[in-house]
């Protein structure tokens, strides 16, 4: 197998993009373990976290901090090391690198230099959650983390309200209730959804129901407000559901400038959605 792409030195090294466990350490593949054991150095989002992972498997390798604050500066230096013949691994704190984690700038720079970039697949919270959600999975949209500010979060959701594909979001413990409130307000209380919490860990839970059901269950149980979350939301559908979702999006925006009755009338005319459905979405 060649070690580089055309245009790179024959002796150039490889950048291995290595998926690590999202919880259960047994999910680290044999190939990933062998790769981490043999590379010259490991680029890690948090070297302290990665050092603990390596220690668990009895490994000790040089670690290089690579995170959102230094990736631009580090990428050029790391490419030079690869061109000089070193092989490097890229890992994130958990799961597959670049999926809501740093790394794409380094990968882009390595590919631009003609270097070989090789994936070592493994755990990914988004795909793991989708695989157990029971939602349509042939077409889906990954949105990562929603904005922290409420206004920006609702604006993002409003743009997605008519999306027919299954939606996947990440969320943190300290914003899960706020995000569920906004999902109910923008998508409607009856939209089917799934919350996958602490996947592969001791307190893993997967809850399904309507958005309103899930909001109530999370509010009632403090344990369901702890850990790391993946939210899976069913798409709006191609026909009636899409019209209602688009009407709700328009209504939410128009109420910033018009009285609710005027906003509902105009949103219904523009989207073809029943005016009553728009009023209900705001309750």
107 shares a domain with 27: yes
182 shares a domain with 103: no
Spatial distance between the Cα atoms of 129 and 152, rounded to a whole number of angstroms? 25
Give the pLDDT confidence score for residue 204 in this predicted structure. 97
96 shares a domain with 24: yes
20 DSSP β-pair partners: 95
Give the pLDDT confidence score for residue 169 in this predicted structure. 98
140 shares a domain with 102: no
Residue 283 placed within a domain: no
pTM of the full predicted structure?
0.82
Domain boundary among 67, 90, 123: 123
157 shares a domain with 216: yes
Give the pLDDT confidence score for residue 8 in this predicted structure. 67
Give the pLDDT confidence score for residue 3 in this predicted structure. 47
Name the residue range of residue 204's domain: 126-237
Whichever domain contains 115, its CATH number is 3.40.1010.10
Q: From the first residue on, what is the mean pLDDT of each consecutive set of 10 residues in the chain (283 residues)?
A: 58 96 97 98 96 97 95 95 97 96 96 97 97 96 96 91 93 96 90 97 96 96 94 83 77 88 84 68 51
172 shares a domain with 227: yes
Spatial distance between the Cα atoms of 230 and 206, rounded to a whole number of angstroms? 9
136 shares a domain with 110: no
Name the DSSP class of 99. S
Q: How many domains does the chain have?
A: 2
Domain boundary among 123, 138, 163: 123
- How buried is 216 (Cβ within 10 angstroms: 0-12 exposed, 13-18 middle, 19+ buried)? middle
Give the pLDDT confidence score for residue 1 in this predicted structure. 46
Give the pLDDT confidence score for residue 280 in this predicted structure. 56
158 shares a domain with 114: no
72 shares a domain with 58: yes
* The two structure tokens encoding residue 261: 């009755």
156 shares a domain with 210: yes
Spatial distance between the Cα atoms of 19 and 10, rounded to a whole number of angstroms? 27
CA 152 to chain CA centroid, Å, is 17
130 shares a domain with 105: no
Give the pLDDT confidence score for residue 270 in this predicted structure. 81
Sequence-ordered strand ranges (E) for the chain: 14-18, 41-44, 63-65, 88-91, 116-120, 140-145, 166-172, 192-197, 205-210, 228-233
Give the pLDDT confidence score for residue 283 in this predicted structure. 47
Q: How many angstroms separate the Cα of 25 from the Cα of each of 21, 75, 129, 201, 230? A: 6, 29, 17, 9, 19
């Amino acid at each position: 197998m060649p070690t580089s792409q055309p245009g790179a030195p024959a002796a150039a090294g490889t950048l291995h993009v290595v998926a690590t466990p999202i919880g259960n350490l047994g999910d680290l593949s044999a190939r990933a373990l062998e790769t981490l054991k043999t590379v010259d150095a490991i680029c890690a989002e948090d070297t302290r976290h990665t050092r603990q992972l390596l220690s668990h498997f009895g490994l000790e390798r040089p670690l290089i901090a690579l995170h959102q604050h230094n990736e631009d500066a580090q990428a050029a230096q790391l490419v030079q090391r690869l061109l000089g013949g070193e092989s490097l691994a890229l890992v994130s704190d958990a799961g597959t690198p670049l999926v809501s984690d740093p790394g794409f700038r380094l990968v882009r720079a390595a590919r631009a230099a003609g270097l070989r970039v090789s994936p070592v697949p493994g755990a990914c919270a988004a795909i793991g959650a989708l695989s157990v959600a029971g939602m349509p999975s042939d077409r889906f949209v990954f949105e990562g983390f929603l904005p922290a500010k409420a206004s920006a979060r609702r604006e993002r959701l409003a743009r997605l309200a008519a999306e027919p594909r299954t939606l996947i979001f990440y969320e943190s413990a300290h914003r899960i209730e706020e995000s569920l409130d906004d999902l109910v307000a923008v998508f409607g209380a009856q939209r089917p959804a799934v919350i996958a919490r602490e996947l592969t860990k001791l307190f893993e839970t997967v809850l399904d129901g309507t958005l309103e059901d899930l909001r109530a269950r999370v509010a009632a149980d403090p344990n369901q407000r702890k850990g790391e979350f993946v939210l899976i939301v069913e798409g709006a559908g191609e026909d009636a559901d899409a019209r209602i979702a688009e009407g709700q999006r328009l209504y939410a925006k128009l109420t910033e400038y018009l009285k609710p009755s005027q906003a509902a009338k105009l949103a219904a005319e523009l989207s073809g959605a029943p005016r009553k459905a728009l009023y209900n979405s705001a309750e």
